[in-house]
Structure 1
Amino acid sequence: MIGQRHREKKAAVLDVWRRYSAFRGLTDDGVDPAFLELRAKALEDGKYVLAIVGETKAGKSTFINALLGERILPTDILQSSSAIVEIFKSEKKYVEVRYADGHVERVEDDLNTPDVDKAFEYLRRIGSIQDRFRKIPATLIDAYIVDGRIKPDSPLPIAELESASKLPLKGKEGLLEEYVRARTLDQIPVEITFGFPLKYAFDELRLVDSPGVNALGGVQDRTFAYLHNANAVLFVHSMDGSVENSAFREFITHVIPNRTKHALFLVLSKSGTKSKIEIDEKLGEARSLFSQEFDSERILHADSMFKIMSEEILRFATVGDLEAHYDERRVYYEQRYEQEPRQEWRDEAVTYTIKTNLLASAMKRIGNGADREFVRSELRRLSNFDVMERTIDEFSARAPELQLAELLAAVKRGYENQIIAHEQDIDFLEKKKKHPQTLENELNEIRRLLSMYKLSMHEFAEQMMAKYVGTNAKYRKKLEDLKSEHLQAVQAATDGNMVRKVLADFHDANSTFIDEVAREVRDEFKNELARLGDQFKSEHSINVPTVDIDGIEAKAKDASHQTTEVPRDPKDFWERARKFLSMGFWSPTGSEPVFDPGCFLHNFKSEAARGINGIVGEDYEFISHFLDNFIAEFKRALQSLIDGRQKAYEELLEQKATNDETLADIAAAENRKRRISEEVSHVSEMLEDLR
């Protein structure tokens, strides 16, 4: 099950952090407790977004139902709607819809009426589309209405719709106008959240279903934003269709940003009835075609219907009973369709026909004499969901495990610093018991050495400021190269989708660059602290304070973001550019403004280029602010640690104690050191497991 490994490991890590936090108390061990608590809370509250995208009629909704083990979505939902559905685990079942005009509607199920599924029916109603509108680009039209590119009583941009959707629309003008007349902003859903009491154990999972991407105007901005920020993206493509000429090629080469490729899976659906040779050939073809674009091991096959059937068979005593159920439901919906020819009744009848045929096909392979449990296991094997989920689960655990490892490493560092402090306390207590005057002289010398240590680190901080700020700063050429590369990509773009992709790629590359500079500064401070620490230990036999550089880096970045305009969310980039959408309109003399794709693309490119140039200029300001904030926070933390040491030394000298009391203090310190050492061993084992 997706998320199983991560959930278990996260619980174990958070348990370790809680024990450390309680054990640490008010001890200053060089780890910033407030920063560590924020890390732990972010980890605890973190959501895992699994986005599902694909071509219409690839079985996307059926795939989601099979993945979650529940019939969450009507099977024909949102095939022609621009809305996004976000599904998550909740105690109550409800649907909440935000429409394009901003108003929100919420429908809850009454648990006392299990035969009436209000949420499901509401979702079916708002996501369905009348048969006569199924061959026009409804997603694109909805998006144009929301953006203001299609206005009431204005001519429809039919040529542009035809070009963008790749659908033949000549002769369908009347149908298009009829659709547009009925689509006002208060009727166009843009975001749907679906709370459901899932059996799925991974509570943090947020599963996002997006509109189909082929022949409907491509991936709209809301979908694009979800894909860009998703932890994993599953593109569903029917194994019955061509892989080479599929919408997936356009999707991976011209639509999604590079970062999304690192989280992308291609799922070839409807594989259950295919032979092993057919499946291997299709997988091999796809892996050969896209090996340069993303990891070919993330190309998988699955059959949603077989997975659903493997769950449904548990409700029946025999396979024959399941077959009879499918046949009864098929007849029921065929009769309803005859009485009232609604698309949903037809879809239900088709679904049960497919299930009947698939079960008959499977039983030919399995053998009619097999018992229910064996049939269930074979249906699940044919679905290949176990293999697919295991692959996604292993991938899904990697990125969060980096966060787990960071938290564990900070805990380990704090424990190790406490051990060093206890060893020093034991040494001082032994000397106080035997030679009080010698201890006083030694502590006075340590005070002098700590002042030298602080002075050395302050001098190093000033050297770092000169190295990273100014016209000769080492990173300037790399930043200029980054700007040049993406400006060229903007100019080479042939449509708005490609410009949007370049902006997202620039955001990611820019964010990575800023992070690299911050990490470089952090690592240089860490290395200097380690070097000076080793030097003072070898030359003067003292342990100098250890500053939480990771916490300082995070605080400095956060403070710098608050004082500069560097965007922290990629949507800031393309929204900043897309607000100039109106610049794509031109007004012929004496007529309404007309949207001109060429005019829009030109202005979109100009605004994108202006944004990239502006952001690069802001990067220099950001790095300067970052260094200022980093050094100020570093000096404050270092001074606080030194002051704490000085105070502890004074208290040790002033404390009057008998030999027995001193011996008891030594024993207590030894015991505490031993307990901490046990925790360090445990944390080290967990870190090794994460690696």
Structure 2
Amino acid sequence: MKQNQFLYYRRAVIKILEEYHAVRRKNNVKDKGLSASIERKAAPFVNGYFTLAIVGKMSAGKSTFINAFLGNKNILPTGHFQTTCVLTKIEYSEKESIEIIYGDGHKETINGDISGKLGKLVAIEDQYSSLPVNDINKLIIKGWNKSKICDPKIVKGLEATSCREINRQLLEQYIDSHPKSKIAKEVTIKYPLQEECEGWRIVDTPGVEAVGGIDMETMEFLTAQNEYGSNNVDAIIFLHKGTDNIEDKSINDFVKDVFKSLSEDAKKRIFFVVTNAADDTFQNIEEEYMRKAKALFVEPYGIKEERLIPVDSLMEILYHYAVEEGKDAVSLMKSQNAPDSSWNEKVWKICRSLLRDIRDTLEDANKNINNENLLAMVRDWSNFDKLRETLNEFVKSEKTNAYNDLIQTIREDIRQCIDHRKNDITLLQKGLEAMQGQEKALGDAMLEMNNTLNTIRRKFSKETVAERFNFIEQRINSQILANDTTYKDIQRETINLYDLADEKKNTLFAQMALEFYKFVHVGTSKAFFKRPDFEAIEKQATEAATGTRTETLTRAIPGICCDDHEEYTVNVPNIDNNKKLQAFKTMSVRHIRQEYSKFKNDIQEEVEFYISKVGESLVSSIETQEKHLTELKNTYKVSSPEQLQEVIKNTNYEIAVFEQFIKSLEKC
């Protein structure tokens, strides 16, 4: 069993949290201290998941890959076309279940054996595989009726964004048979996964065409933060089919569009996985194929070379099936039919062919054709062990920092407890006069708190936050709206502008984190600057600039001995390129300005939220200290010298318990 790094950290954090709470209870610590920060930092380990998202074209074999990764070939429906068009989350649970949230908000839960059931609930029927179902579903869920969706302008827009010709009759049929109450919005699968996947959440994203890229919901899911302030998605696997032409323009355009849509942080968490690695087509050119994949997709986008991994999903599924069902690989190789009803005959035919390829490889190496050798090579050809090992190394590197930060925060909290106890001893020894002096110090701290808050409010006011982003309007006017800009200039400058905006946003929140760290945790901003869809804008600009021109042509008029000719006129489409460029420029700028306004307002609201949290933290801290000081004074007033010595003795014992706990943390 491979080491599950996330599960290792989860168990370690749970154990440390139990000890932390126990030592605070034992010493009757009432002050909250850093408990809230500790719980927040521990929550992603205890209650969260290591979330792995799978991104790829519809034909990339995402569902088969996920089934193989999870060790069960029937969790997700598989097929050559669209299988599902919603985010599907698979999480560990001791019991199997499927929860579906539909477009009208109602939920449906299926408990018990779920194998093969998801396809019947959410898979797209074959007759609709030519439709851009995902885009149509969104309109239905929005409440659009058939006449509105089937409006020629809307249909034309759907065709433009999906690069598909839409059959009007088929579209109407789909809308009639798919009210929002039957359209799945979100799917969560609970399943008793193998231990190496416990604590993981695998997310199947909607398959996308070569043109069009990731839809907005998927992109926001990939780049957002969760309720604990950490990344919503820990790692992203970009899946590519190894039997497809690696240099195909549509594939390269798709990859480029995907990376353009992701934040810089998300790009650092990407793995590039090539499927169908056991196929003869791939194996014959594997070395050259992987070299090109590295040149096209790894080096240009900064993916680490070890994260370019070839795998074969069917080999992994076959391995798990043979081991778990106790099947003899030699008998499976010789069988003419699928071993049981859980196998699709076409899929089994491919597996049997691969087994025979392995047999030939073993014979060439003068090795025995037996169950052990066949299964060993099946596992080797699947290469999923290499993928899991690489992922676990990534988990270790990612989560080690978060784990160490949690341990350091616990240490700091316990040291504060020790300091408070030592201060209590000092006050009890010095008497009421010292306590009164501390009361005055707390009053001064309240005044200092107000000064601190006022300084923070001035430094991060709405006006100063807005000033950080004034460059956007300046660059729009100087770079994008310039008279001599071309389409490429506009797109390049827009990308630069968005990158700068992200950089400014990240700098702002990093500065806030440094200023506020004593009072509240500042997470990464969730404000999202939506990028323009230049392809859609160009199509709209083309439509706006398209008119007609009259052309005079001649045609023959049949006669008795020869053909006479006549002139006639026709109207032909005419695109005014200058008008098109101006429309493209205007539409692009309109989008940027609209999204910038929302982006700026969202950031300002986030900043205000953190400032209010700082104020709450400061007030709560001082009020807690005042309350404790009052209790200490009362203890002093009613205690005899002997009783005070006993209190001091007990406090020293508590300090020793705290110090012993800190020593135990050194082993973590």
Alignment partner, residue 653 of structure 2 = 671
* Kept in 2: contact 1:483–1:613 (CA 8 A): no
Separation in 1 of the partners of 2:612 and 2:103?
44
* Kept in 2: contact 1:94–1:107 (CA 8 A): yes
Separation in 2 of the partners of 1:504 and 1:70?
42
| 1:313-340 Cα shifts (integer Å, max 9, x gaps) | 2234532222244x2218x99xxxxxxx
Alignment partner, residue 303 of structure 1 = 312
Separation in 2 of the partners of 1:125 and 1:455?
62
Alignment partner, residue 330 of structure 2 = 320
Separation in 2 of the partners of 1:677 and 1:216?
61
**Inter-CA distance 43–506: structure 2 relative to 1 (3 Å threshold):** farther
1:205 to 186, 195, 200: 200
Alignment partner, residue 65 of structure 1 = 67
Alignment of 1:3-402 (within 5 A): 4-25=4-25, 26-28=28-30, 31-34=33-36, 36-37=38-39, 39-41=41-43, 43-71=45-73, 72-76=75-79, 79=82, 81-100=84-103, 105-109=108-112, 120-121=116-117, 123-124=119-120, 126-130=122-126, 134=129, 137-140=132-135, 142=137, 148=144, 151=147, 154-155=151-152, 160-167=157-164, 169=165, 175=167, 177-184=169-176, 185-186=178-179, 188-200=183-195, 202-215=197-210, 217-229=212-224, 230-245=233-248, 246-247=251-252, 248-273=254-279, 278-290=285-297, 291-297=299-305, 298-314=307-323, 315-316=325-326, 318-325=328-335, 327-329=336-338, 348-367=344-363, 369-402=368-401
Separation in 1 of the partners of 2:528 and 2:24?
39
| 1:44-66 Cα shifts (integer Å, max 9, x gaps) | 32233322121233222111111
Deviation, structure 1 residue 105: 4.9
Alignment partner, residue 411 of structure 2 = 412
Alignment partner, residue 566 of structure 2 = none
* Kept in 2: contact 1:95–1:107 (CA 8 A): yes
Separation in 2 of the partners of 1:233 and 1:2?
20
Deviation, structure 1 residue 19: 2.2
Separation in 1 of the partners of 2:371 and 2:422?
66
Separation in 1 of the partners of 2:460 and 2:384?
51
Q: Relative contact order: is structure 1 or structure 2 higher (C-alpha 8 Å, sep ≥ 6)?
A: 1
| AA at the equivalent of 1:58 | A
* Kept in 2: contact 1:273–1:361 (CA 8 A): no
Separation in 2 of the partners of 1:260 and 1:487?
30
Deviation, structure 1 residue 178: 2.7
Separation in 2 of the partners of 1:448 and 1:98?
57
* Kept in 2: contact 1:89–1:197 (CA 8 A): yes
| AA at the equivalent of 1:15 | K
User: Are 1:520 and 2:514 counterparts?
Assistant: yes
| AA at the equivalent of 2:29 | T
Deviation, structure 1 residue 458: 5.3
* Kept in 2: contact 1:483–1:612 (CA 8 A): no
**Inter-CA distance 126–671: structure 2 relative to 1 (3 Å threshold):** closer
Separation in 2 of the partners of 1:153 and 1:108?
38
Separation in 1 of the partners of 2:301 and 2:259?
8
Q: What percent of counterpart residues are identical?
A: 19
User: How many pairs does the alignment contain?
Assistant: 598
* Range with greater deviation from structure 2 (203-212 or 213-222): 213-222
Separation in 2 of the partners of 1:487 and 1:194?
50
* Kept in 2: contact 1:257–1:504 (CA 8 A): no
Q: Which consecutive unaligned segments of at least 5 residues does structure 1 have?
A: 112-116, 334-344, 433-437, 524-548, 559-565, 576-582, 589-596, 687-691
**Inter-CA distance 153–654: structure 2 relative to 1 (3 Å threshold):** closer
**Inter-CA distance 666–227: structure 2 relative to 1 (3 Å threshold):** closer
Separation in 1 of the partners of 2:47 and 2:451?
40
Separation in 2 of the partners of 1:75 and 1:165?
22
* Range with greater deviation from structure 2 (289-298 or 64-73): 289-298
Secondary structure of the residue aligned to 2:218 is helix
Secondary structure of the residue aligned to 2:59 is coil
Separation in 1 of the partners of 2:447 and 2:619?
10
**Inter-CA distance 627–358: structure 2 relative to 1 (3 Å threshold):** same
* Kept in 2: contact 1:310–1:380 (CA 8 A): yes
Separation in 2 of the partners of 1:300 and 1:33?
42
Deviation, structure 1 residue 411: 1.6
Deviation, structure 1 residue 671: 3.3
**Inter-CA distance 101–522: structure 2 relative to 1 (3 Å threshold):** closer
* Kept in 1: contact 2:150–2:172 (CA 8 A): no
* Kept in 1: contact 2:59–2:81 (CA 8 A): no
Larger helix fraction of residues: 1
* Kept in 2: contact 1:61–1:74 (CA 8 A): yes
Separation in 2 of the partners of 1:309 and 1:521?
55
Deviation, structure 1 residue 655: 2.0
* Kept in 1: contact 2:329–2:375 (CA 8 A): no
| 1:546-604 Cα shifts (integer Å, max 9, x gaps) | xxx2xx325xx79xxxxxxx995759x699xxxxxxx9999x9xxxxxxxx99999668
1:610 to 571, 577, 594: 594
Deviation, structure 1 residue 371: 4.1
**Inter-CA distance 161–28: structure 2 relative to 1 (3 Å threshold):** closer
* Kept in 2: contact 1:59–1:269 (CA 8 A): yes
User: Are 1:479 and 2:486 counterparts?
Assistant: no
Separation in 2 of the partners of 1:417 and 1:394?
35
Separation in 2 of the partners of 1:382 and 1:35?
46
2:624 to 640, 644, 661: 640
Alignment of 1:423-462 (within 5 A): 423-425=422-424, 432=429, 459-462=451-454
* Kept in 1: contact 2:90–2:203 (CA 8 A): yes
| 1:276-296 Cα shifts (integer Å, max 9, x gaps) | 894444333323333242323
Separation in 2 of the partners of 1:96 and 1:645?
52
Secondary structure of the residue aligned to 1:669 is helix
